[in-house]
Structure formats: C-alpha cells, structure tokens
Amino acid sequence: MALANDRFTYRVTWSGDDNEYVGLCAEFPSLSWLARTPEAALKGIRKVVADVVKDMKASEETIPAPIASRSYSGKFVVRVPPDIHRTLAVQAAEAGVSLNRIASSKLSQ
C-alpha cells in the first residue's frame, strides 16, 4: 500500500533494455519498478517506496525529505571552462545585464 501522505518525486519512463516501463523515485535513486504499463510502474514504485519508508521508520533511519518540500536558496556554484566564462561575460556585457542574469536565462531554457 502506498503512503497516504506521499510527497516524493516520481517519474515513469520507457526502458528499452527491459522492454517495459520503469518507475523511479528521485528521493530513492536506488529503487525502481518494472511493469508493462506506465500506470503499473507508478503504482509499483510507490509501493516499494512505502515499504522502504516503513522499514526505515522501524529501524529509526532518517527518511529523505521530499524534494518538493525542501527549501532552496537560489544559489549554487557552477564551474565552467574559462572560454565559456568569457563568452558568457561578453554576452552579458553586450546585453547590458549581469553574468548571473545571462546564466540564469540559459539554464531556464
């Protein structure tokens, strides 16, 4: 049975290697569930996560917080080669905006 307050991040995709749909959970990247339909893959991965969370609670392990409920500062560091840094700096200068604005714009595309 799936968790009643399940707020985890799920994805269903096709697995060409397995010739089935695979259900995944971002907060538990080591878990997956194969099924013939996308609906069954989602139902299966939600059940597996519910079972794992139940076991984690029983053994007093820390359960990952759902991605959707985490707080984000809006800041992170990205290292790029110097030539890309230069190109972005030039683009920012030509557009009359900050380097952060150019980088944010490109990341959101």
Tell which residue, 2, 42, 4, has the closest CA to residue 24: 42
Overall domain count for the chain: 2
* Per-residue pLDDT tens over the stretch 52-76: 999 999 999 999 999 999 999 999 9
CA–CA gap between residue 24 and residue 2 (Å, rounded): 14
CA–CA gap between residue 39 and residue 7 (Å, rounded): 17
Give residue 76's domain range.
72-107
pLDDT at 3 over 70: no
Q: Is position 5 within any domain?
A: no
**What is the percent of the chain with per-residue pLDDT over 70, rounded to a whole number?**
95
* Confidence tier at 107 by pLDDT (50, 70, 90): very high
pLDDT at 4 over 70: no
Question: In terms of domains, do 87 and 101 share one?
Answer: yes
* Per-residue pLDDT tens over the stretch 80-93: 999 999 999 999 99
Question: In terms of domains, do 14 and 63 share one?
Answer: yes
